[in-house]
Amino acid sequence: MATGAVKGGRPAKPGSDWRGAIARMVRRVVGIAVLLLLAAGIALWWAARWTPDRTQYPTQGVTVDAGNGDVHWGSIKAAGADFAYAMATDGTGGIDPKFARNMSAAREAGIQTGAIHRYSLCKLATDQAANFIRHVPRRTDALPAVVWLDYDDRCPDRPTRALLLSELATFLAQIEAHMGKRSLIAPGPAFEADYKVTQGIARTTWLRRDFFAPDYGAHPWAMWQANDYIRLSGADGTVGWNVLRPQGEQ
């Protein structure tokens, strides 16, 4: 009897086995790739829609900036936003071009509003405060202003903690005199890890961590940015989704 595999009584063609093995491997790789793409699509779809449980956090709202275009605030309110924070100023000269429109249109839609200043480590506190005061009007119905604290690729400076806390205290004192109420501080995780701002500045904190409650900071957060990937009808791109800690919850 002749050696070698046979198929239907005929000798197998040379190389047919390895070609079949390669074809099967390619099909497996393609199948795995399709499954991974499907899983990624489902994850993105979920992330664009997830918000914390409303029964646990009854008061929820959005963070917007110029990248969200001309926001249709009626749609944002219909999506469940009780309040909105709009990016206002940045350093000593930056002003979000949509800030005034966002604040006015959100209030017309019945949404409470507040302003955010992005703090710069490269600029003097008094000059930054002047920029904020110049562009953010004092209103008794406004939410407390927020100081956004993050590293910025445009600014290589890394002052000492003592200098930062001193400058930040100056900035807060000046904008709070203008607004007539105390502000919130919103340090990102890396910034807080390096400077421990929440230990040195006695202010209400707004912390950030997608999908999981933040566990950094010297004391419990009052505001949590829970999802920075939310997509809503009425706004371009993604918005930040935030929740307020219920009173009495620790």
pTM to 2 decimals?
0.83
Per the structure, the complete domain to which residue 25 belongs is given by 12-45
Question: Are the CB atoms for 90 and 118 separated by under 8 Å?
Answer: yes
- pLDDT reported for residue 234: 93
| 202 plus 179 within the same structural domain | yes
Tokens of 172: 């807060």
Instruction: Look at residue 193 and tell me if it is in a domain.
Output: yes
Instruction: Look at residue 186 and tell me if it is in a domain.
Output: yes
Number of domains the chain is built from:
2
Question: Are the CB atoms for 243 and 226 separated by under 8 Å?
Answer: yes
Q: Among 57, 55, 38, 72, which Cα is nearest to 239's?
A: 72
| 158 plus 102 within the same structural domain | yes
| 192 plus 139 within the same structural domain | yes
Give the model confidence (pLDDT) of 106-159 as tens digits.
999 999 999 999 999 999 999 999 999 999 999 999 999 999 999 999 999 999
| 34 plus 60 within the same structural domain | no
| 39 plus 108 within the same structural domain | no
Instruction: Look at residue 7 and tell me if it is in a domain.
Output: no
Rg (CA), the chain: 26
Q: Which amino acid is residue 201, in one-letter code?
A: I
Instruction: Look at residue 4 and tell me if it is in a domain.
Output: no
| 214 plus 147 within the same structural domain | yes
Instruction: Look at residue 99 and tell me if it is in a domain.
Output: yes
Q: What is the mean pLDDT of residues 92-114?
A: 97
Instruction: Look at residue 101 and tell me if it is in a domain.
Output: yes
Flag whether pLDDT at 90 surpasses 50.
Answer: yes
| 30 plus 60 within the same structural domain | no
Give the model confidence (pLDDT) of 1-58 as tens digits.
444 444 455 555 555 677 777 777 777 766 676 666 665 556 566 667 799 999 999 9
The dihedrals phi and psi of 19, each to the nearest 5 degrees, come to -65, -40
| 119 plus 210 within the same structural domain | yes
| 181 plus 235 within the same structural domain | yes
68 SS3 class: helix
Residues facing 61 on adjacent strands: 83, 242
Q: Say if residue 95 is exposed, middle or buried (CB neighbours under 10 Å; 0-12, 13-18, 19+).
A: middle
| 61 plus 21 within the same structural domain | no
The dihedrals phi and psi of 209, each to the nearest 5 degrees, come to -165, 125
Beta strands, E only, 55-209: 60-64, 83-90, 94-95, 112-118, 146-149, 184-187, 204-208
